[in-house]
Structure 1
Amino acid sequence: MVMIKICFKSVMAASLVVASRSYADFTPEATFDIKKVDLHRLEEGPPLTATLTREEGLKYYRTMQTIRRMELKADQLYKQKIIRGFCHLYDGQEACAVGIEGGITLSDHLITAYRAHGYTLTRGGTVREIMAELTGRRGGIAKGKGGSMHMYTKNFYGGNGIVGAQVPLGAGVALACKYLGNDQLCVSLYGDGAANQGQIFETYNMSSLWKLPIIFICENNQYAMGTSVERSAASTEYYKRGDYIPGIRVDGMDVLCVREATKFAAAHCRSGKGPILMELQTYRYHGHSMSDPGVSYRTREEIQEVRSKSDPISMLKDRMLSNNMASIEELKEIDIAVRKEIEDAAQFATTDPEPPLDDLCSHIFANDQPFEVRGATPWTKLTSTS
């Protein structure tokens, strides 16, 4: 009984301390040294310092924690056989998505491969919609028809399953931006495994000839589908792969490094200089997909070392705490709120109805009159509605 009273008093005291601190007690803005990037065909690169406001820091922290917790919940639901099929998780790479979004605007365009859950969130999707899509439910962001690999929002074109095929599609989006003259650009993402695809080099060539406003970003998470970059690529300097296209190699585990590099790349594109290539050196904690345990081609000790030394969330958290930009209690409150959001979304994703069979052929076209579609047999008829 005494112990309970002491614990209760301790909690109350901590709450009073938090309550007594106002926003004025925190540092509103701080400047940090960041790693120098490697340059290709450029005389100058992004700055060596980055300014972070308290508001930005809290936003980045919440978003990265949301992506992390969402992916861990997806892992759990997959192992319970509630999520089925392909599922590629993004935990460990959160600084890439959040940093890129910090360097462009939502009016810009983005296309990526199948490791797309994080970008679906940063592009405006909700945790609830993403989790419901993973479980194939009607309330999913693609109405339960896309699953893990095929999610879309405004100015976000997926989530694409064919390795490397999203890169030429991204160039098409960039061509549209140039044609319309709207000062927008396209970010086209691919992994180190896709970097050897011929269609990527064809896209480099056309984009350079036409000076398209496109940022090619190679998320180099070191192992592709399960083979280290050293064993699969004669040249592991992916930022130089564009040859005649300028390139930069960036620490993809540092959200501020990624943000400043993206700002630099976006300014390059908007100035009419054409494409630029970014290599983000990052790391995935899970295997390539849920069918890959991820420890047959690397050791658990290696994964743990990256977690302990280079974790993107821990890095941002340490910066904010050491510069009095937030309190431990405040960040814990964010953690609790994020966990609740994830649990609520998971509950919805396991109880929301699956889409009915009658809906199978709907949403093929964006704007079209309803029309009849033959089903699996000549005598079954379905209707397609937009």
Structure 2
Amino acid sequence: MAPRKQSGSTSRKTTRGSTATKSGLEGGITDFSKDQELDSYREMLLIRRFEEKAGQLYGMGFIGGFCHLYIGQEAVVVGMQMALKPGDEVITGYRDHGHMLATGMEARGVMAELTGRRGGYSKGKGGSMHMFSKEKHFYGGHGIVGAQVSLGTGLAFANRYRENDNVSLTYFGDGAANQGQVYESFNMAALWKLPVVYIIENNRYAMGTSTARASAQADFSLRGKSFGIPGYQVDGMDVRAVHAAGMEAVEHCRSGKGPLILEMLTYRYRGHSMSDPAKYRSKDEVQKMRSERDPIEQVKARILEKKYASEDELKQVDKKIRDIVADSADFAQSDPEPDVSELYTDILL
């Protein structure tokens, strides 16, 4: 899972209190400050605990329909979110709960939407795959494979038209990377030099087929080459590597150089969705990733090694997060379901 190496490394400052050993787009990492280590730990742990609880509620029958968990991929969205400024937009596919939480959406509202309650972000009518927050500049959550790529490109077009200096982060998976509309979007983004970072979350299996069996070119960072879009592979299991690449990617877009592709080499621990037993890979493979490359455990080990916090203090962090998640689950089970009249609101005819 190591990032693809390129030449031309230099040391440089990237953001508050952090130093990249070399270009983040060339496989460099960011030396996090104490606050950055602790913040990234909390954010990733919140996503992990939330998704674990969502999986439990699904098994108990409180969540219907589809439910795609983000467990294992937390470093990607947390590292990228740390590189953004207010006003930048995020859009993704249906494995979206982690993205919502990373943008600052409340756990209560996200969980309530999963269970179809009034307090959900889409008033209980969208469910797992269709949640939005204009306030947090999160534009979904989309159930159609690859559809968000065209929409994310449209967000970038609006930013350029308004000259507002904002960047669109458009997430999609290795499976969606083979969709035709992705390449139509690439063409327009390159032609008009749109400020969009295309983030391909390569978790190796799409719905269940290995990338080696489904993609003639399995290096997804090269997918924009024919359009002149630069692309880079990033260690998506290390939040520091993601952050370093994210800082340079958004600066590339803000400076008017057009789109850029980041292929995040990551891994999901659960099946494609809750109904997927994931028999296409071995338990040993999953366990090896958990024990050697887990994004949260990497941060925890650095925090303890650098004495930024003690084991007891980190246990308290975990307890507070578990309390937040438990509260969101209680709310999501007790909040009323939407009134029948809601069937006819927010509908375009």
TM-score (norm 1): 0.83
C-alpha separation in 2, matches of 1:37 and 1:224: 21
Higher relative contact order (CA 8 A, sep 6+): 2
Unaligned stretches of 5+ in structure 1?
Answer: 1-34, 366-372, 374-386
Matched residue of 1:360: which SS? Answer: helix
Query: Structure 1 pair 353/241, CA: closer, same or farther in 2 (3 Å)?
Result: same
**What is the Cα deviation at residue 293 of structure 1?**
1.3
- CA contact under 8 A between 1:39 and 1:248: conserved in structure 2? no
1:239 matched to 2:215 = no
- CA contact under 8 A between 2:150 and 2:185: conserved in structure 1? yes
C-alpha separation in 2, matches of 1:49 and 1:159: 29
Q: After superposing the two structures, state which structure 1 stretch, 46-55 or 131-140, moved more.
A: 46-55
Q: Deviations over 1:347-379 (max 9, x none)?
A: 1111111001012112337xxxxxxx9xxxxxx
Which residue of 1 is the match for residue 338 of structure 2?
Answer: 355
Query: Counterparts of 1:286-305 in structure 2 under 5 Å?
Result: 286-294=270-278, 296-305=279-288
Query: Structure 1 pair 191/339, CA: closer, same or farther in 2 (3 Å)?
Result: same
Selected match of 2:300 from 297, 311, 317: 317
Q: After superposing the two structures, state which structure 1 stretch, 47-56 or 339-348, moved more.
A: 47-56
**What is the Cα deviation at residue 37 of structure 1?**
4.7
- CA contact under 8 A between 2:23 and 2:244: conserved in structure 1? no
Which residue of 1 is the match for residue 326 of structure 2?
Answer: 343
C-alpha separation in 1, matches of 2:61 and 2:110: 17
Query: Counterparts of 1:47-126 in structure 2 under 5 Å?
Result: 48-126=28-106
Query: Counterparts of 1:118-197 in structure 2 under 5 Å?
Result: 118-154=98-134, 155-197=137-179
C-alpha separation in 1, matches of 2:175 and 2:249: 23
Matched residue of 1:98: which SS? Answer: helix
C-alpha separation in 2, matches of 1:340 and 1:188: 31
Q: Deviations over 1:81-111 (max 9, x none)?
A: 1111010000100001100101112310111
1:210 matched to 2:192 = yes
C-alpha separation in 2, matches of 1:90 and 1:312: 12
C-alpha separation in 2, matches of 1:45 and 1:179: 30
- CA contact under 8 A between 1:136 and 1:147: conserved in structure 2? yes
C-alpha separation in 2, matches of 1:288 and 1:38: 29
Unaligned stretches of 5+ in structure 2?
Answer: 11-21
Selected match of 2:265 from 262, 277, 281: 281
Q: Deviations over 1:209-262 (max 9, x none)?
A: 100001011000000000000000011100011012101100000001001100
Letter in 2 for 1:314: E
Matched residue of 1:279: which SS? Answer: strand
Q: Deviations over 1:293-343 (max 9, x none)?
A: 12x100111101000000000001111111111111111100011111111
1:226 matched to 2:208 = yes
Matched residue of 1:110: which SS? Answer: strand
Q: After superposing the two structures, state which structure 1 stretch, 257-266 or 54-63, moved more.
A: 54-63
**What is the Cα deviation at residue 38 of structure 1?**
4.0
Matched residue of 2:338: which SS? Answer: coil
- CA contact under 8 A between 1:124 and 1:153: conserved in structure 2? no
Percent same amino acid at aligned positions?
51
Selected match of 2:247 from 263, 266, 271: 263
Matched residue of 2:189: which SS? Answer: helix
Letter in 2 for 1:305: K
Q: Deviations over 1:261-318 (max 9, x none)?
A: 0001011111111000000000001100111012x10011110100000000000111
| Aligned-pair Cα RMSD in Å | 1.8
Selected match of 2:315 from 322, 332, 339: 332
C-alpha separation in 1, matches of 2:146 and 2:290: 28
TM-score (norm 2): 0.91
